Structure 1
Amino acid sequence: MKSVARKLSAVTLVVIALSNGATAFAQSKVTEIPVPNLVIYPGDLIEEGMLTQQRVLKRSIAGMPIHRHEDAILGKEAKRTLIPGHPIALNATREPLIVRRGTLAKLIFREDGLEIIAVVEPLQSGAVGETVKAKNLDTGLQVVGVVQEDGTLLVEGG
Protein backbone atom coordinates (compact mmCIF):
# COMPACT_ATOMS: atom_id res chain seq x y z
CA MET A 1 0.00 0.00 0.00
CA LYS A 2 2.87 2.37 0.85
CA SER A 3 4.47 1.83 -2.57
CA VAL A 4 1.16 2.71 -4.28
CA ALA A 5 0.93 5.89 -2.16
CA ARG A 6 4.53 6.77 -3.04
CA LYS A 7 3.86 6.22 -6.75
CA LEU A 8 0.72 8.39 -6.57
CA SER A 9 2.55 11.19 -4.79
CA ALA A 10 5.39 10.95 -7.34
CA VAL A 11 2.87 11.13 -10.20
CA THR A 12 1.18 14.09 -8.50
CA LEU A 13 4.51 15.90 -8.24
CA VAL A 14 5.23 15.25 -11.92
CA VAL A 15 1.79 16.58 -12.93
CA ILE A 16 2.29 19.69 -10.79
CA ALA A 17 5.76 20.25 -12.23
CA LEU A 18 4.47 19.86 -15.78
CA SER A 19 1.55 22.20 -15.21
CA ASN A 20 3.89 24.80 -13.66
CA GLY A 21 6.21 24.41 -16.64
CA ALA A 22 3.31 24.81 -19.06
CA THR A 23 2.23 27.96 -17.25
CA ALA A 24 5.77 29.35 -17.39
CA PHE A 25 6.00 28.40 -21.06
CA ALA A 26 2.69 30.13 -21.82
CA GLN A 27 3.73 33.22 -19.87
CA SER A 28 6.96 33.45 -21.85
CA LYS A 29 4.83 33.87 -24.97
CA VAL A 30 2.74 36.69 -23.46
CA THR A 31 3.70 40.30 -22.79
CA GLU A 32 1.96 43.43 -21.64
CA ILE A 33 1.75 46.65 -23.65
CA PRO A 34 0.23 50.00 -22.80
CA VAL A 35 -3.07 50.81 -24.51
CA PRO A 36 -5.50 53.72 -24.04
CA ASN A 37 -8.39 53.09 -21.67
CA LEU A 38 -10.34 55.99 -23.17
CA VAL A 39 -10.41 57.85 -26.48
CA ILE A 40 -7.39 60.17 -26.73
CA TYR A 41 -7.80 62.92 -29.32
CA PRO A 42 -5.12 64.64 -31.43
CA GLY A 43 -3.38 67.33 -29.40
CA ASP A 44 -4.20 65.71 -26.04
CA LEU A 45 -1.30 65.22 -23.64
CA ILE A 46 -1.06 61.60 -22.53
CA GLU A 47 -1.10 61.43 -18.74
CA GLU A 48 -1.23 58.75 -16.06
CA GLY A 49 -4.66 57.19 -15.81
CA MET A 50 -5.24 57.38 -19.57
CA LEU A 51 -3.43 54.08 -20.20
CA THR A 52 -3.81 50.52 -19.03
CA GLN A 53 -1.70 47.40 -19.55
CA GLN A 54 -3.06 44.77 -21.94
CA ARG A 55 -1.76 41.21 -22.24
CA VAL A 56 -0.98 40.15 -25.80
CA LEU A 57 0.85 37.31 -27.48
CA LYS A 58 4.40 38.33 -28.29
CA ARG A 59 4.13 36.88 -31.79
CA SER A 60 1.02 38.97 -32.53
CA ILE A 61 2.97 42.20 -32.07
CA ALA A 62 6.39 41.04 -33.28
CA GLY A 63 7.80 43.53 -35.73
CA MET A 64 5.01 46.05 -35.13
CA PRO A 65 6.27 49.62 -34.60
CA ILE A 66 4.32 50.20 -31.37
CA HIS A 67 5.08 51.61 -27.94
CA ARG A 68 5.89 48.77 -25.56
CA HIS A 69 6.46 50.78 -22.37
CA GLU A 70 4.21 53.32 -20.69
CA ASP A 71 7.18 55.54 -19.78
CA ALA A 72 7.82 56.22 -23.46
CA ILE A 73 4.29 57.61 -23.93
CA LEU A 74 3.56 59.62 -20.80
CA GLY A 75 3.94 63.36 -21.38
CA LYS A 76 3.73 62.98 -25.16
CA GLU A 77 1.05 64.51 -27.36
CA ALA A 78 -1.27 62.41 -29.52
CA LYS A 79 -0.89 63.11 -33.24
CA ARG A 80 -4.08 61.24 -34.10
CA THR A 81 -7.05 59.66 -32.33
CA LEU A 82 -6.01 56.75 -30.11
CA ILE A 83 -8.68 54.07 -29.60
CA PRO A 84 -9.17 52.23 -26.28
CA GLY A 85 -7.65 48.74 -26.24
CA HIS A 86 -5.57 49.25 -29.40
CA PRO A 87 -1.75 49.37 -29.46
CA ILE A 88 -0.22 52.83 -29.86
CA ALA A 89 1.94 53.22 -32.96
CA LEU A 90 5.33 54.89 -32.53
CA ASN A 91 4.38 57.58 -35.04
CA ALA A 92 1.06 58.33 -33.29
CA THR A 93 2.75 60.42 -30.58
CA ARG A 94 5.21 63.30 -30.49
CA GLU A 95 6.81 65.70 -28.10
CA PRO A 96 4.30 68.41 -27.15
CA LEU A 97 4.19 71.39 -29.49
CA ILE A 98 5.45 74.51 -27.73
CA VAL A 99 5.20 76.92 -30.65
CA ARG A 100 2.08 76.86 -32.80
CA ARG A 101 1.71 78.09 -36.34
CA GLY A 102 -0.19 81.36 -36.69
CA THR A 103 0.28 82.50 -33.08
CA LEU A 104 2.71 85.16 -31.89
CA ALA A 105 6.07 84.22 -30.46
CA LYS A 106 9.17 85.98 -29.24
CA LEU A 107 12.35 85.63 -31.32
CA ILE A 108 15.68 86.14 -29.56
CA PHE A 109 18.79 86.81 -31.66
CA ARG A 110 22.13 86.46 -29.86
CA GLU A 111 25.62 87.21 -31.15
CA ASP A 112 28.77 88.28 -29.28
CA GLY A 113 26.88 89.54 -26.21
CA LEU A 114 24.29 91.40 -28.32
CA GLU A 115 20.67 90.36 -27.85
CA ILE A 116 17.79 91.50 -30.07
CA ILE A 117 14.21 90.54 -29.31
CA ALA A 118 11.44 90.67 -31.91
CA VAL A 119 7.86 89.48 -32.23
CA VAL A 120 7.35 86.90 -34.97
CA GLU A 121 4.58 84.74 -36.37
CA PRO A 122 5.65 81.09 -36.60
CA LEU A 123 4.94 79.60 -40.02
CA GLN A 124 5.30 76.09 -38.56
CA SER A 125 4.46 74.44 -35.26
CA GLY A 126 7.32 72.92 -33.32
CA ALA A 127 8.43 71.09 -30.19
CA VAL A 128 11.46 71.89 -28.05
CA GLY A 129 14.67 71.66 -30.06
CA GLU A 130 13.00 71.75 -33.48
CA THR A 131 13.90 74.36 -36.07
CA VAL A 132 10.93 76.35 -37.37
CA LYS A 133 10.42 79.18 -39.84
CA ALA A 134 8.78 82.39 -38.69
CA LYS A 135 7.86 85.74 -40.21
CA ASN A 136 9.23 88.91 -38.63
CA LEU A 137 6.20 91.16 -38.17
CA ASP A 138 8.26 94.38 -38.42
CA THR A 139 10.16 93.58 -41.62
CA GLY A 140 8.11 90.80 -43.22
CA LEU A 141 11.28 88.73 -43.63
CA GLN A 142 11.42 85.03 -42.84
CA VAL A 143 13.73 83.86 -40.09
CA VAL A 144 14.60 80.44 -38.73
CA GLY A 145 14.84 79.72 -35.02
CA VAL A 146 15.14 76.83 -32.61
CA VAL A 147 12.20 76.30 -30.24
CA GLN A 148 13.12 76.77 -26.57
CA GLU A 149 11.34 75.37 -23.51
CA ASP A 150 9.88 78.78 -22.67
CA GLY A 151 8.22 79.05 -26.11
CA THR A 152 10.72 81.49 -27.61
CA LEU A 153 12.63 81.00 -30.85
CA LEU A 154 16.39 81.33 -30.53
CA VAL A 155 18.67 82.49 -33.33
CA GLU A 156 22.38 82.61 -32.61
CA GLY A 157 24.75 84.42 -34.90
CA GLY A 158 27.97 82.92 -35.73
Structure 2
Amino acid sequence: MTRALHMIVAAALFVGGLATMASAADTAIIPKRVIYPGETIDAGALTEVQLRNPARVTTEIAYVAEDIEGKVAKRTLLPGRFIPLSSVREAYVVEAGSPVEVNFAHNGLHITTMAIPLQPGSIGDMIRVRNADSGTVFSGIVLANGTVRVGN
Protein backbone atom coordinates (compact mmCIF):
# COMPACT_ATOMS: atom_id res chain seq x y z
CA MET A 1 0.00 0.00 0.00
CA THR A 2 2.72 2.49 0.91
CA ARG A 3 4.65 1.61 -2.24
CA ALA A 4 1.61 2.52 -4.36
CA LEU A 5 1.20 5.76 -2.41
CA HIS A 6 4.88 6.64 -2.99
CA MET A 7 4.48 5.98 -6.72
CA ILE A 8 1.39 8.22 -6.88
CA VAL A 9 3.18 11.04 -5.02
CA ALA A 10 6.25 10.69 -7.27
CA ALA A 11 4.07 10.80 -10.39
CA ALA A 12 2.23 13.88 -9.11
CA LEU A 13 5.52 15.66 -8.39
CA PHE A 14 6.85 14.73 -11.83
CA VAL A 15 3.73 16.01 -13.60
CA GLY A 16 3.77 19.17 -11.46
CA GLY A 17 7.41 19.73 -12.40
CA LEU A 18 6.60 19.31 -16.08
CA ALA A 19 3.74 21.80 -15.77
CA THR A 20 6.06 24.34 -14.16
CA MET A 21 8.68 23.86 -16.88
CA ALA A 22 6.02 24.12 -19.57
CA SER A 23 4.61 27.35 -18.12
CA ALA A 24 8.08 28.93 -18.11
CA ALA A 25 8.58 27.94 -21.75
CA ASP A 26 5.13 29.27 -22.71
CA THR A 27 6.39 32.87 -22.61
CA ALA A 28 8.92 34.67 -24.77
CA ILE A 29 10.52 38.10 -24.84
CA ILE A 30 9.94 40.53 -27.71
CA PRO A 31 11.02 44.16 -28.25
CA LYS A 32 8.56 46.97 -27.51
CA ARG A 33 10.31 49.19 -30.05
CA VAL A 34 12.91 48.89 -32.81
CA ILE A 35 16.34 48.00 -31.42
CA TYR A 36 19.15 48.87 -33.84
CA PRO A 37 22.42 47.00 -34.40
CA GLY A 38 25.05 48.03 -31.86
CA GLU A 39 22.45 49.18 -29.34
CA THR A 40 22.64 47.79 -25.81
CA ILE A 41 19.41 46.05 -24.85
CA ASP A 42 17.78 47.19 -21.61
CA ALA A 43 14.75 45.72 -19.83
CA GLY A 44 12.62 48.77 -20.64
CA ALA A 45 12.75 47.92 -24.35
CA LEU A 46 11.40 44.40 -23.80
CA THR A 47 8.04 42.85 -23.04
CA GLU A 48 6.90 39.33 -22.25
CA VAL A 49 4.29 37.57 -24.40
CA GLN A 50 2.50 34.23 -24.20
CA LEU A 51 3.38 31.65 -26.85
CA ARG A 52 0.32 30.14 -28.49
CA ASN A 53 2.14 27.06 -29.75
CA PRO A 54 5.61 26.67 -28.15
CA ALA A 55 6.28 23.54 -30.23
CA ARG A 56 6.38 25.66 -33.41
CA VAL A 57 9.38 27.69 -32.23
CA THR A 58 12.30 26.13 -34.12
CA THR A 59 15.16 28.48 -33.24
CA GLU A 60 16.74 29.42 -29.92
CA ILE A 61 14.91 32.54 -28.79
CA ALA A 62 14.95 34.67 -25.65
CA TYR A 63 12.43 33.31 -23.15
CA VAL A 64 13.35 35.58 -20.22
CA ALA A 65 14.72 39.13 -20.19
CA GLU A 66 17.86 38.01 -18.33
CA ASP A 67 18.86 36.04 -21.47
CA ILE A 68 19.53 39.23 -23.41
CA GLU A 69 19.48 42.18 -21.00
CA GLY A 70 22.78 44.08 -21.21
CA LYS A 71 23.77 42.39 -24.48
CA VAL A 72 24.16 44.19 -27.80
CA ALA A 73 21.97 43.71 -30.88
CA LYS A 74 23.83 42.30 -33.89
CA ARG A 75 20.96 43.11 -36.26
CA THR A 76 17.77 45.14 -36.19
CA LEU A 77 15.24 43.69 -33.73
CA LEU A 78 11.66 44.54 -34.66
CA PRO A 79 8.75 45.03 -32.24
CA GLY A 80 6.45 42.04 -31.96
CA ARG A 81 9.04 39.59 -33.32
CA PHE A 82 10.90 36.91 -31.38
CA ILE A 83 14.54 37.65 -30.54
CA PRO A 84 16.84 34.86 -31.75
CA LEU A 85 19.79 34.40 -29.39
CA SER A 86 22.03 34.48 -32.47
CA SER A 87 20.94 38.11 -32.99
CA VAL A 88 22.62 39.36 -29.81
CA ARG A 89 26.19 39.32 -28.52
CA GLU A 90 28.03 40.19 -25.34
CA ALA A 91 29.08 43.84 -25.07
CA TYR A 92 32.64 44.54 -26.19
CA VAL A 93 35.11 45.25 -23.40
CA VAL A 94 37.86 46.19 -25.87
CA GLU A 95 37.20 48.30 -28.98
CA ALA A 96 39.33 48.14 -32.12
CA GLY A 97 41.76 51.05 -32.31
CA SER A 98 41.54 52.04 -28.62
CA PRO A 99 44.84 51.44 -26.78
CA VAL A 100 44.82 48.65 -24.21
CA GLU A 101 47.25 47.35 -21.64
CA VAL A 102 48.76 43.98 -22.52
CA ASN A 103 50.19 41.69 -19.84
CA PHE A 104 52.58 38.81 -20.46
CA ALA A 105 53.61 36.45 -17.68
CA HIS A 106 55.82 33.37 -17.93
CA ASN A 107 57.96 31.69 -15.25
CA GLY A 108 58.05 34.75 -13.02
CA LEU A 109 58.73 37.18 -15.88
CA HIS A 110 56.04 39.88 -16.13
CA ILE A 111 55.92 42.34 -19.03
CA THR A 112 53.32 45.07 -19.43
CA THR A 113 53.01 47.21 -22.55
CA MET A 114 50.45 49.12 -24.57
CA ALA A 115 48.94 47.76 -27.77
CA ILE A 116 46.26 48.64 -30.28
CA PRO A 117 43.51 46.03 -30.77
CA LEU A 118 42.93 45.17 -34.41
CA GLN A 119 39.45 43.89 -33.60
CA PRO A 120 36.89 44.38 -30.83
CA GLY A 121 36.48 41.73 -28.15
CA SER A 122 34.26 40.59 -25.30
CA ILE A 123 35.48 38.92 -22.10
CA GLY A 124 37.26 35.69 -22.99
CA ASP A 125 37.63 36.45 -26.72
CA MET A 126 40.95 35.83 -28.44
CA ILE A 127 41.84 39.01 -30.36
CA ARG A 128 44.77 40.26 -32.39
CA VAL A 129 46.65 43.32 -31.14
CA ARG A 130 49.57 45.38 -32.47
CA ASN A 131 52.38 46.39 -30.11
CA ALA A 132 52.40 50.19 -30.03
CA ASP A 133 56.22 50.34 -29.86
CA SER A 134 57.43 47.60 -32.22
CA GLY A 135 54.44 47.11 -34.51
CA THR A 136 54.48 43.35 -33.87
CA VAL A 137 51.06 41.70 -34.18
CA PHE A 138 50.13 38.98 -31.69
CA SER A 139 47.05 37.43 -30.10
CA GLY A 140 45.76 37.61 -26.55
CA ILE A 141 42.68 37.00 -24.44
CA VAL A 142 40.43 39.87 -23.32
CA LEU A 143 40.01 40.06 -19.53
CA ALA A 144 37.11 41.56 -17.56
CA ASN A 145 39.17 44.59 -16.52
CA GLY A 146 39.73 45.62 -20.16
CA THR A 147 43.30 44.35 -20.45
CA VAL A 148 44.63 41.64 -22.75
CA ARG A 149 46.55 38.63 -21.43
CA VAL A 150 49.24 37.00 -23.56
CA GLY A 151 50.87 33.70 -22.69
CA ASN A 152 49.95 31.54 -19.71
Q: What band does the TM-score fall into relative to the shorter chain?
A: 0.7 to 0.9
What SS is found at the alignment partner of 1:125? coil
In the TM superposition, residue 59 of structure 1 has moved relative to its aligned partner by 4.8
Q: Is 1:54 the equivalent of 2:52?
A: no
Aligned mates of 1:92, 1:139 — CA distance in 2 = 38
Q: Which residue among 99, 123, 128 is the counterpart of 1:128?
A: 123
Aligned to 1:67: 62
Cα deviation digits, residues 109-140 of structure 1 (max 9, x gap): 11122221111111111100010001111111
In the alignment, the residues of structure 2 paired with residue 40 and residue 81 of structure 1 have an alpha-carbon distance, to the nearest angstrom, of 6
> 1:149: which partner in 2?
144
Runs of 4+ residues over 4 Å off in structure 1: none
Amino acid aligned to 2:68: I
Give the secondary structure class of the aligned counterpart of 1:120.
Answer: strand
Higher Cα radius of gyration: 1
Q: Please tell me whether residue 138 in structure 1 is matched to residue 112 in structure 2.
A: no
Match of 1:97 in 2: 92
Identity of aligned residues (%): 35
Decide which structure has greater strand share.
Answer: 1
- Rounded to whole Å, the distance in 2 between the matches of 1:139 and 1:94 is 33
> Does residue 85 of the first structure (1) align with residue 98 of the second (2)?
no
Structure 2, unmatched stretches of 5+, are 1-21
Q: Is the 8 A contact 1:120 1:134 kept in 2?
A: yes
Give the residue type in structure 1 aligned to 2:59: M
Q: Is residue 34 of structure 1 aligned with residue 29 of structure 2?
A: yes
| Aligned pair partner of 2:112 in 113, 117, 139 | 117
CA contact (8 A) 2:99 2:117 kept: yes
User: Alpha carbons of 1:101 and 1:61: their partners in 2 closer, same or farther (altered >3 Å)?
Assistant: farther
SS in 2 for 1:53: strand
Letter in 1 for 2:31: P
TM-score (norm 2): 0.77
Answer whether contact 1:54 1:85 (CA < 8 A) is retained: no
What's 1:6 paired with? none
Structure 1 residues without counterparts, runs of 5 or longer: 1-26
- Please, what is the CA RMSD of the aligned residues? 2.0
Cα displacement (A) at 1:60: 6.9
